[in-house]
Each structure stands twice: as C-alpha cells, then as structure tokens.
Structure 1
C-alpha cells in the first residue's frame, strides 16, 4: 500500500517543510499520496501536485477543517488509515497535535521527530536533547511518523499528480475555534529561512535586539531567532525561540550572537550548514559547533559586521 503525507500549508500556499517531509516519505519505498486538509485549500493542493514523486493529492476541503483543529483532522486521518501502510507528517505544531491522536485511535505506536529512514520499518530519532540518536523498529503493521524536516533536503518540483476531492469524515464537536493571533513579519519564516541571526541573553534587552540583532538580520535578508534565555528574559517573542523547546532549524547560515551554546539551544540549530558564533567568552560551548568564531564584544563587532555587509551590497 501507499504512504499518506499530511501537508503543512495555510490554504493559499504550501509550507516548504512539506517538500522536506516528502523526501522522508519517499524513502519508505511506497507511492506517496499527499493530504491537503483545510478550507478553500485548492491552491495548496495544486502546489503539492507539482512536487516530484507525488502519486496523488487528496483534497479535503470543508468548513470543518478551516483551522485544522486536531479532533476533526484526526478523525479524517483515522478514516483514511486503512488505505495506507504509513501516515507521515512534518513535525510542526499542527501535526504534533494531530498525529498522536491518530496513533492512539488506531492503537499503534508513533515515531516522533524522525531524522533518518533506514528501512520502511526502521527510523532514527534524537534523544537526550540531540546528544544521542536512537534507532527504532516499528513492529505495528501501520507506521505513524512525524519528521524533523531540518534533517532532510526538500524534494523539487516537476510533478503533475492528479488531485482527488474526498468527503469529510464525521468529526467530534469537542472543541470550538475561538481566535488566533498571527505574528506578521516581512522577514523570512524562521523554519524555512536560508539565513538566521539569533541573539542570546548577552544582548541584554529587547531594545538591543532592535538595535543590534535586527539590523544585521535585515542586512543579510535573514530571519531573527533567539535563545530560550533571551525569550524567558522578555528580550524576544516566543515565536523566535530556537532550541529543543522552540523551533528546530537547519539554515545555510546560522549566526549566533551572544549565545553561550547550552545543550537546549544546540539541539535546535547544530544541523545548520555554516555556523558563525560571536561571543566574548572564548570557552563558550557554542564555539565547539561553530565553523567560524569571533571572540569579542558583540556591541562592537555586530555593528561593524552590519556596516561591512551594507558597504559590500552598496
């Protein structure tokens, strides 16, 4: 049978993490169907159909799926589960809520945050804040897996899969959507950004984030991140947090400013292709994973770096 991949999207467009999760789904060796669930979500379904390797796109388009609440989407997943050997989704906030419900309802174990597919029933996942990799074998007939997408390259476009509309499943009415607050920014989304500039507790204040970190990010066309210590201190909003309890990222370039390199933070960014660390403590753990390091006062070095980048772009 085939593999069902749950797409991450906002109805109007497909989130890039879907293409990364598709790479993992294809590694299972079976045809991959992509499920796009939402309201007025055909544009996202059309984008999914263009991904290379997709055999079919299932479109569940109904008001009940408008906000992708866990209960109705999980009911749909359970209704479709009999047709598939594996149910796979990117490890994002939505699917980390939905997939465990599906696994419980069909009475199978879930593999969370898979970073490698060794065989159709063997996966690797990080444990102990990423300090060890656990290899697990799934003995259940059906696999339910969330994918740490930072560990996989994105599948390219070039496909032309058919789109099939499916009937909504009976949905429990246990929850009611009340509202949401979405942080709007002209900068790239943190989980999809090619370049990230992150600040730590040493930045000292939210004002310093605006004066030091954000100008460097803007000069590089980067997203802005933060360590948990900086977020807890109120220097940066929660949605900027990078780390084990924040967002896991793997950009082409990660610039860590005033970040000591606690295990919690390293778990969220150590897979970045190039890491640059700026810290006044030459013994800071961040330098153990950095490709390039600057030892010195961030309040001097970062403005100088920003000015040099601006000069080079002029």
Structure 2
C-alpha cells in the first residue's frame, strides 16, 4: 500500500480544520502518516485526534524547542523522516510556505511535484482545477515520492478512526545546515473574532464598488458579523490600500469554498472569481446588471449595495 506523509504545520492553537482537510485528501491514495512541525508537546497532545482522523503514525522532533520557524530546517526534517522512516508521497497545504517547501523537497527526493491539487487518487494521480476552475484535469508525476500541495477547502474533513492509529514516533534530528540567522522573538498576527477566510463557511466579500475604506467597516463588516462570516476583498481593493492583503480572494490571494458567498460591488474579473466560484451558493449585489459576476451567481440583486446591505443586515439581526 502507498504511504502518504501529511505535513502538519499548525504552530499555534489546536489542530485546525486545514490539517484535517489534508488528511482527508490523502486517505484515498493510501496509508496516511503525519509529520508534525509544531514540536514534541503538540504532537503528543494531538496523537489521539490525528488517529481519529485516520493517521497511522505521527512523526515529530524528539528534541523539544527545535521548531525555529525556518523553512530550511523544516525542509530538512521532512526529508529526513521520508528518507529514513516513511518513504512515500508528501502532502502539504497549498500556501506560500507549502509551495516553497514542496519544490525544494521534490528536488531532494528526486520526484515530481503537483501544486493546487483538489483531489488525490489511489493510482498516485491527482485532480486539478485550472483556467479559473473552468477545466478539470488529471495529472501524474514520476519519482518514488511525489509531492502534492492541496488547495484549502477543496476536501471536506471527516473522521476515520482505526485500531492502533495515532502511534507516536519521536525522531532524533539535528539540522545539518545552519539557516544563517536566529529567531530572537516571534509575535503572531493578531486574529480577530471572525472565522479564518480560507476555512469560513460563509464569506462576505467587497470589491471596488464598496468605495472608501470606511465603507468596508460601516457597511460590509456589519453584515459579516450578523452572519458569523469572514470578510474577503478583491485585488483592486488591496491595491488601493482599503483593506489588508491577507483578506484578498483570487488567483494571487486566498481560495475559498464556503457554503455561502455574498459579493458586493464586485465586477467578476477572473482574477477574483477563480478563487471563489466553487462556493455552494453565490449571492451578488451590483448596480450594473451587465456585470460578469452575475453569470456565476445563484442569486443576483441589481441595486445599490449601500441600500441592500444595511437592509439585509437589519433583517438578519431581527431574526436572530
């Protein structure tokens, strides 16, 4: 049976939904092991939960305090585990960090790499959704240990408990290459009360039509809070400096696949729609009835967002 090594890189908080998605994505292709980069304490705490998700073995660094946040050290540790203990394919999240490690790891393993995968298959091939999710293809690469990065939100996590799963496997590891710098301190980004964008079940997004920065706070965010939703924006909003880049949806931002997507003041350029058109239900508000985004909408409202959004927020709040 093929072995797939899922990389768990959750350094803060509890085991997240994204890690469960990676495990669910890998399961159809073979036996799933986990390589935890977050340190011994968290790996030990997560062993039982990872077993419930279908992980057979949990590899982690035996020496506490070796997680120094440098990708070069993570890369060496992953390669060490795969080469010596768990030879097989490697599955990472399709993020900036995941993509950076994937390419270099594939080179070390002498195997190919497939990025932005939406499904893995038992024969080692992978499904990809390309050209703005308009075309679905099946691709495969060579080598004994192919590397895959999986799109966040592409696979639903699910329980898969098995007898003997979640075996803890400490690994003695000393980095061979100095990273050239040391982390003296680390301040994590402050997380708000809203859900993480890539994992949210409901997303409220705004485009250039929302206008000035203040409008996002006074019109868009109240609707998101009424729905318990994450806030997203288009690239031009970020370029104008009206909202932080971490909330950008699209080809150069986050890919989201919520149950409900509400877009206001968004024209529907492919740069944005490629990152959200797999949403379960798409609702859009735009005063231009010819806006391209209406072509992918399940429900479209032609109207002024400054009238529609406050009225919608008020109605939702009245029913809570």
User: 2:179 is matched with which residue?
Assistant: 174
1:254 partnered with 2:261: yes
CA separation in 1, counterparts of 2:229 and 2:180?
37
CA separation in 1, counterparts of 2:187 and 2:96?
14
Give TM-score, length-normalised by structure 1: 0.92
User: 1:116 is matched with which residue?
Assistant: 119
User: 1:33 is matched with which residue?
Assistant: 33
User: 1:64 is matched with which residue?
Assistant: 66
Number of aligned residue pairs: give it. Answer: 311
1:89 partnered with 2:92: yes
Contact conserved, 1:226 with 1:241, CA < 8 A, in 2? yes
User: 1:46 is matched with which residue?
Assistant: 47
Of the candidates 96, 105, 116, which is equivalent to residue 102 of structure 1? Answer: 105
1:233 partnered with 2:240: yes
CA separation in 2, counterparts of 1:261 and 1:171?
48
Q: Secondary structure at the match of 2:6?
A: strand
Change in CA separation of 1:263 and 1:286 when aligned onto 2, cut-off 3 Å: same
Could you give the per-residue CA deviations for residues 2-50 of structure 1, whole angstroms, max 9, x where no partner exists? Answer: 211101312431121111111111111x211111112342366336424
User: 1:126 is matched with which residue?
Assistant: 129
- Give unpaired runs (5+ residues) of structure 2: none
CA separation in 1, counterparts of 2:159 and 2:311?
38
Q: Which moved more, 1:227-236 or 1:93-102?
A: 93-102
- Give unpaired runs (5+ residues) of structure 1: none
CA separation in 2, counterparts of 1:212 and 1:43?
45
Contact conserved, 1:2 with 1:85, CA < 8 A, in 2? yes
Q: Secondary structure at the match of 2:319?
A: helix
CA separation in 1, counterparts of 2:244 and 2:223?
18
User: 1:79 is matched with which residue?
Assistant: 80
1:275 partnered with 2:278: no
Q: Secondary structure at the match of 1:115?
A: strand
Change in CA separation of 1:43 and 1:119 when aligned onto 2, cut-off 3 Å: closer
Shift of 1:213: 0.4
Give TM-score, length-normalised by structure 2: 0.90
RMSD: 2.0
